[in-house]
Amino acid sequence: MNDKVVLPIWTVGLFIVVMNTTMFNVSIPSIISDLQISADLGSWIISSYSIGYALSTVIYSRLSDGVPIRRLVTVGLTILGLSSIVGIFAHNFHALLAARILQSAGAGSMAGLGLVLASRYVPAHRRGRAIAMISAGSAMAFGLGPIVGGVISEYFGWNGLFAVTCLILAILPILLRLLPREVPTAVHFDLIGAVLTVVNAGTLLIAVTQQSMMWFAISVLSFLAHFWHLRKAKETFINPDLLKERGYRKLLAIGFCVLVINLGNLFLMPLVLAHLFDESAMRIGLMIAPGAILSVILSRFVGRWIDRYGNMRFLLIGHVILVVVMALYAMNVAVSPAIILCGYLGFSPAMSATLSSLNNETSLRLPGNLIGAGMGLAQLIQFFGGSVSVAICGLLLEYQDRIPLAQAYRHIYEVLLVIGLCSIGILLSYRKSAVSKSILP
């Protein structure tokens, strides 16, 4: 495979997929107003896509151990394109939610399989650049997505956002021509384990968002059933050998925390700009865009620096910047829109560098036969963190409806700040154990 040709095209596809999240982020205030729903219900437009995206990511990644990537991409992008067409005609909350969930079922093929593709076909000495390129697609989506979403929402309504995602169907034939022709291998796919994984994530998210003890009890039972299944079955959907590695478990925890901060911030910024400063969807996009565009510009250098200086350095630098920005927002978010703009100029490049180095570090820790399962599980944990974050942020806003809105936003940013500090603690623990095992230079 010529990765210098395939990966840029793959990055374009990932750009469209990730932009499908950021476009709707800036449109959430409009959707809440048009459909007359609450903020916590509106958060489901984002969190349902994120959790479905996460679940489908790990499923596609797990299947890639035996099913050719070309076949999985065909299925995923076809589902994504067709569900986007359905979304154009969605005019109530339930139809909109259904379209978003269907989109997520196909979107996961781009995120999960992209990392598998890079880990499997790009040599280790330049894999950091390849993963950074994939991360640049996400960063570009975070930059241009708010602008595109703002323009389309303002002039065509939020239904028009689905038309952008239909473009993914134009990329599919090109990828099918360029991707390597892998030979299918006989691999056992644990359908029961896959179903239990979906039930675990779905019931836990519902329990949190609905504050339901009944759903929490169902979630606990589903986790117990999954634990029993892992002990009894021979080949499971989530390979228990992965979870025996302490370093890998710490990387999973870091990924969870980082995506909690990322998706929580991306959910909050448009609401802050709309509710505290009366900014339109287009202006919200224009204020968020510069930070993410800067991230794209820097990503080409970050990939080279990761390959040269190692992952740990950029994980630490990225975490410090994320924590500083969360502290800035917690103290000054209601002062001026310029605070949001300036803070995101540091936040977006730091998030891109953090995720690139984190995913590269994860890929290097995994043996070849576990790359598909391991990277898929890492993506699942990361995006589940993002889904939970968006849902909880929506709930916290509802809980604080009797205090000034500016104070409510500050409290939520304080929570994200604490999570960032916890992630730094886990990272330092990982660094200490990695050094003791001579993993780091």
Distances from the Cα of 333 to the Cα of 298, 347, 426, angstroms: 26, 14, 27
Domain that residue 205 falls in: 190-236
Distances from the Cα of 269 to the Cα of 14, 20, 139, 186, 413, angstroms: 23, 17, 16, 47, 10
Residue 435: what pLDDT? 55
Domain stops at, among 236, 270, 302: 236
Where is 11: in which H helix or E strand? helix 3-35
Q: Tell me how long the chain is.
A: 441
Task: Indicate whether 13 belongs to any domain.
Answer: yes
Residue 439: what pLDDT? 47
- SS3 percent helix, strand, coil of the chain, rounded to 5, is 85, 0, 15
Task: Indicate whether 441 belongs to any domain.
Answer: no
Whole-number Å distance between alpha carbons of 204 and 215: 7
| Residues 205 and 257 grouped into a single domain | no
| pTM strictly above 0.75 | no
Task: Indicate whether 345 belongs to any domain.
Answer: yes
Whole-number Å distance between alpha carbons of 49 and 103: 7
* Contact predicate 7/118, CB 8 Å: yes
- If one compares 369 and 309, the residue with the highest pLDDT of the two is 309
- How many CA atoms lie within 13 Å of 427's alpha carbon, on the beta-carbon side? 25
Q: What is the pLDDT of residues 5-42, one digit of tens each?
A: 777 888 888 888 888 877 877 777 778 878 887 766 77
| Residues 144 and 224 grouped into a single domain | no
| Residues 361 and 414 grouped into a single domain | yes
- Give just the sign of the alpha carbon dihedral 176, 180, 182, 187: negative
Whole-number Å distance between alpha carbons of 387 and 94: 18
Q: What is the dihedral of CA 412, 386, 357, 121, to 10 degrees?
A: -170
- How many CA atoms lie within 13 Å of 349's alpha carbon, on the beta-carbon side? 19
Task: Indicate whether 418 belongs to any domain.
Answer: yes
Closest CA to 221 of 194, 198, 245, 200: 200
Q: How confident is the model at residue 413 (pLDDT cuts 50, 70, 90)?
A: very high
Residue 426: what pLDDT? 92
Residue 89: what pLDDT? 87
Closest CA to 284 of 151, 441, 132, 107: 151
- How many CA atoms lie within 13 Å of 229's alpha carbon, on the beta-carbon side? 20
| Residues 130 and 215 grouped into a single domain | no
Residue 420: what pLDDT? 94
Domain stops at, among 203, 236, 269: 236
Task: Indicate whether 155 belongs to any domain.
Answer: yes
| Residues 82 and 201 grouped into a single domain | no
| Residues 127 and 227 grouped into a single domain | no
- Spatial neighbors of 2 by CB under 8 A, at least 6 apart, are 178
Whole-number Å distance between alpha carbons of 55 and 199: 10
Mean pLDDT of the chain: 81
When pLDDT is averaged across residues 293-306 and rounded to a whole number, the result is: 74
- If one compares 371 and 273, the residue with the highest pLDDT of the two is 273
Closest CA to 385 of 377, 375, 396: 377
| Residues 327 and 208 grouped into a single domain | no
Q: How confident is the model at residue 183 (pLDDT cuts 50, 70, 90)?
A: low
Distances from the Cα of 395 to the Cα of 113, 353, 401, 412, 434, angstroms: 33, 30, 10, 10, 38
Q: How confident is the model at residue 217 (pLDDT cuts 50, 70, 90)?
A: very high
Q: How confident is the model at residue 58 (pLDDT cuts 50, 70, 90)?
A: confident
Residue showing tokens 């303002």: 154
Domain stops at, among 206, 236, 266: 236
> In sequence order, what DSSP letters do the residues of 125-149 get, joined into one string?
GGHHHHHHHHHHHHHHHHHHHHHHH
* Contact predicate 242/381, CB 8 Å: no
- 27: which 2 tokens? 């449109």
- How many CA atoms lie within 13 Å of 353's alpha carbon, on the beta-carbon side? 30
| Residues 127 and 207 grouped into a single domain | no
Residue 438: what pLDDT? 46
| Residues 219 and 127 grouped into a single domain | no
Question: How many domains does one find in the chain?
Answer: 2
Q: What is the pLDDT of residues 117-167, one digit of tens each?
A: 777 777 766 666 777 677 667 767 766 777 787 788 778 888 888 888 888
| Residues 80 and 205 grouped into a single domain | no
Task: Indicate whether 326 belongs to any domain.
Answer: yes
* Contact predicate 49/24, CB 8 Å: yes
Where is 33: in which H helix or E strand? helix 3-35
Residue 259 amino acid letter: L
Residue 434: what pLDDT? 64
Whole-number Å distance between alpha carbons of 295 and 262: 14
- How many CA atoms lie within 13 Å of 102's alpha carbon, on the beta-carbon side? 19
Closest CA to 285 of 425, 143, 97: 143
Where is 322: in which H helix or E strand? helix 311-332
Task: Indicate whether 315 belongs to any domain.
Answer: yes
Q: How confident is the model at residue 354 (pLDDT cuts 50, 70, 90)?
A: confident
| Residues 248 and 380 grouped into a single domain | yes
When pLDDT is averaged across residues 60-68 and rounded to a whole number, the result is: 78
When pLDDT is averaged across residues 294-306 and rounded to a whole number, the result is: 74
Q: What is the CATH number of the domain that holds 10?
A: 1.20.1250.20
* Contact predicate 413/234, CB 8 Å: no
| Residues 105 and 173 grouped into a single domain | yes
